Chain A
């Protein structure tokens, strides 16, 4: 279970950005989690809620944008939503698919006062 150390890294970035922007109370943290990462969104939310108790982050909400595993067909250029690791372009049948999304583990933005 590494969602706690992911949470710690998120809060470190949030703390730095709060200082830079003169924010005293964090209201919301928005993150982006790809389908092919080893991070479970529900576990991350749980860890976040536990980690911010009794800290300056208390009361903040974690908003998670989940990104599906997606690809682009190298033959016809079509966008592919990859499900069950079926690497086949639904339009042209090619299996030459470039993975373009699903590995994200990013902080998007924050809101605070």
Chain B
């Protein structure tokens, strides 16, 4: 078992009323799964993803990650936990425009205090694996959307996470680029056993996964 959510609620107070963002969510994810979260806008997909990624808190319920109780952990341990085990991929890539492809890949390693020579090796390895060695000195703005997202995925993977959280990773891409990214996810999942949870609007993309979770108004249906 990688993670487990039990009776998770999240709400905001608006004009004396509780607006529920997540309502009684129960979810178990085993290692090696590939899950797609679907649902209309405002149904709480991204919120759920952020809660799983520990970027966001929740108001009620329990969350275990690798048998640590996330809801009782202090902020510092929580961030250590996600730094260690989780990689994020975003719809708008979120690469640092001031850094080259190579430097963008290197950044998470810096924060993990990995030595220079080892960083170099890991980055070179990743560039090689994603076939972007020739682009290592380019800046994100010099790349196509698909290439940027490729870098985004590479960056998420470089810390060797157990779990990849992808928030509409193909939302800004055309169909051919989408296809490539989804193939990549599938390959990572199948060949390397990386657990993947993605939020998507696309039925087609959702089918790459092994399981689909549908949300409506913060509730699992």
A and B interact physically = no
